[in-house]
Structure 1
Amino acid sequence: MTHITKPKFHHPALALNSLGLTRRDYEGVISTLCAGCGHDSVSAAIVEACFELDIEAHRVAKVSGIGCSSKTTNYFLNRSHGFNSVHGRMPSVATGANLANRNLVYVGVSGDGDTASIGLGQFCHAIRRRLNMLYLVENNGTYGLTKGQASATNDKQSKNRKGLGTPFESIDLAALAVELGAGFVARSFSGDKAQLVPLVKAAMSYRGFALIDVISPCVTFNNHPTSTKSYDYVREHNAALDRVDFVPVRETISVDYEPGSVVDVTLHDGAVMKLHKLAEDYDPSDRGAVLSALNRHREAGEVATGLLYLDADETDLHGLIDTVPAPLNSLQDADLCPGNAALEEINARHS
């Protein structure tokens, strides 16, 4: 059996970020997905985003469940922490890890089956708890590991490669996330690197729950003319609501745009997102308008992409439950057992 690995040496002329790392330092092992799978493009976007953000790989915890999508965490950031959980249970693992160590950057990669079917309840409660993480769904509308059955996100008008449709309405994960109170909701296309990379950078810098629903075609089972998750369909029906660029606060911001064409949103860590508005009436901070726009584009057979919703005043799980600033896994016995005097003071307040 032939075992293929990536070469360990780097070309000396590769570009470096401020940490002295190349893009190669953010890669993983060679992908075993089907050639042309959209998921590999998503992995490449994450690699590019982390390189541009100058993120130290050991500060990232990547988590996943089961499915083709959940394999992709092996294809980026091979120097990061990682946990591959059981089917649909990734949010629980991410919640426990985040509670133990709030100082890590959490990246969860899931699929439409792992999220919208067996993991739907976990997905909803991760949003409800405002878990500070990037939750990225590689959405292809099909179960690739079990030979192409329609998933819960497959549109009713979308047929499989044998011409069979589904009698059930699809679940719109982006609209559901907005309804449940997610502070950052975006949708993109795996074949649109110019849009996806800035969205990943912004989501990883956001404090709170950030969802990116990425339409990522399955080239084996769901990339035919009658599929609404195919490369051709999304390219022809992509309704980009905005053009997004992300500029970290440490860099000089220099813009020259027409009045009224840019919305500036300052995130909690001081980073600035530039939202280049293409539609005059679209406001990503108006939840009701966002849901109306998503429904309108969906009824028109269009795939709305871009930054769909943003709450700049969001807090995260630690802010909601008022945990101590230090990661819980760093607390020592003296911190956890302050002594009788502190216990007596607590009891006195409740007497």
Structure 2
Amino acid sequence: MSYFKPKFRHPELPKNQLGYTIDYYEGSLSTLCAGCGHDSISASILQAAFEMNIEPHKLAKLSGIGCSSKTPAYFLNNSHGFNSVHGRMPSVATGANLANKELIYFGVSGDGDTASIGMGQFIHAVRRNLNMVYIVMNNGCYGLTKGQDSATADQGSINKKGKENPFESIDLASLALEMGAGFVAQSFSGDKSQLVPLIKAAMKHKGFSFINVISPCVTFNNNVGSTKSYDYVREHVEATSTIDFIPEMQEINANYDEGSLQKVKLHDGSQLNLHKLAKDWNPTDKRSAINAMQNAKESGDILTGLIFLDDNQVELHEILNTSDKPLNKMTEAELCPGNDVLQKINAGFR
């Protein structure tokens, strides 16, 4: 079996403003199970990058270990990439980000990689407001080790072996909200029309952007009784809104009924148009977002869409007052200012 995609593409494929066709944003042929929701998320990521006219070499994709963490091989072949240790992707992302702030950082993780072994890493990346997009491909099980329940499996959910999960689940979107993330969203791998605009907005947000995507495991967690199955998710999805992402400087021509639209501007002038569906929900009010998540949980629904947005936060580089120039662009004299300067620095700690 070949793991390489055929190079032939239709000669009339549309191009973005950079002159690239969509295949320039693709990766290797996926080796995940046929029908895996993770492949749909990968397709949404490359579609968002294509539509946003992003130069692939200006994006760095990082991951840990797991089915989800294999996916960076399947999108944005021409980008920087690093597959790190299980649960340690946030540390690697932090180091890379501090060394070069000019790249767009894209972290891809799973429910085991984030909610179990990587939990400590995850919450500290949130609290430090690391400027990155963090996507969790959440299927509620360990797909690489025969489908055991993960920490995000809902209490009472039935796994493929017929056993009921006795433990309370970790709600990653609510956790990110509580820890201070300025962009919190939730989606379903089968809803590309919602997920693509969310990814676009996340890339434009200054600070930590978190998207929890329910992504059913077709092999180990798509059975009757599983709350992460395709059927269950489709029957219980409760959207906060339908979403349009408007890039900076693009003319907006639209007519909406009064009171049905909420416009949210991002720091660079881009705009999200939220056509509100959920009652008593305000995406810029943290208390309202927390209540909406709790209400959905109590009713057994899965709340999707933009949950919360705070575009006035200070990201990590501003907190630490780091250099505007990336380390790889500095000269030797800038990186090593000499013994006299180092002596003064050391004296300041005495």
Question: Which whole-Å CA distance do the structure 1 matches of 2:327 and 2:253 have between them?
Answer: 40
Q: Does 1:235 align with 2:244?
A: no
CA contact 2:261–2:275 (8 Å) conserved in 1: yes
3-state SS, counterpart of residue 125 of structure 2: helix
TM-score (normalised: structure 1)? 0.95
Shift of 1:203: 0.5
Q: Determine helix, strand or coil for the equivalent of 2:117.
A: coil
Shift of 1:337: 4.7
1:333 CA drift (Å) = 2.7
210-219 vs 258-267, which deviates more? 258-267
Structure 2 length normalisation: TM-score? 0.95
Task: Show the counterpart of 1:6.
Answer: 5
1:108 to 2:99 alignment: no
Runs (4+) of structure 1 exceeding 6 A deviation are 339-351
Quick one: structure 1 residues 345 and 64, their matched pair in 2 at CA, closer, same or farther if it must change by over 3 Å? closer
Structure 1 equivalent of residue 64 of structure 2: 65
Q: Which residue of 2 aligns with 1:262?
A: 261
CA distance in 2, matches of 1:327, 1:270: 25
* Residue of structure 2 in register with 1:278 after alignment: 277
Provide the alpha-carbon RMSD of the alignment.
1.9
Deviation at 1:279, TM superposition (A): 2.9
CA contact (8 A) 2:249 2:269 kept: no
Structure-1 separation of matches of 2:345 and 2:116? 45
Amino acid at match of 1:324: S
Worse overlay, 340-349 or 226-235: 340-349
Query: Offset at 1:280?
Result: 4.5
Q: Which residue number corresponds to residue 90 of structure 1?
A: 89
Question: Residues 267-311 of structure 1: CA distance to partner in whole angstroms, max 9, x if unpaired?
Answer: 122211111112352101111121111111111110000000100
In structure 1, how many angstroms separate the alpha carbons of the residues matched to 2:157 and 2:138? 14
Q: Kindly indicate whether the alpha-carbon contact (under 8 Å) linking 1:265 and 1:312 is maintained by their aligned counterparts in 2.
A: no
Cross-structure match for 2:76: 77
Q: Within 2, Cα distance between the matches of 1:321 and 1:119?
A: 24
Shift of 1:143: 0.4
Does 1:324 find its partner at 2:316? no
Distance 1:178 1:145 in 2: 29
In 2, Cα distance between equivalents of 1:326 and 1:101: 8
Measured after TM superposition, the shift of residue 115 of structure 1 is 0.3
Question: 287-296 vs 208-217, which deviates more?
Answer: 287-296
The alpha-carbon deviation at position 329 of structure 1 amounts to 2.7
Give the superposition deviation at 1:112: 0.2
Q: Secondary structure at the match of 1:33?
A: coil
Correspondence for 1:129: 128
- Distance in 1 separating the partners of 2:124 and 2:279: 34
| Paired position in structure 2 for 1:176 | 175
Structure 1 residues 348 and 254, CA gap change in structure 2 (3 angstroms) = farther
Q: Say if 2:47 is the partner of 1:48.
A: yes
Conservation of the 8 A alpha-carbon contact between 1:130 and 1:317? yes
Matches within 5 A, 1:159-174: 159-174=158-173
Q: Which residue of 2 aligns with 1:26?
A: 25
Question: Partner residue of 2:137?
Answer: 138
Gap change, CA 1:345 and 1:37, over 3 Å in 2: closer
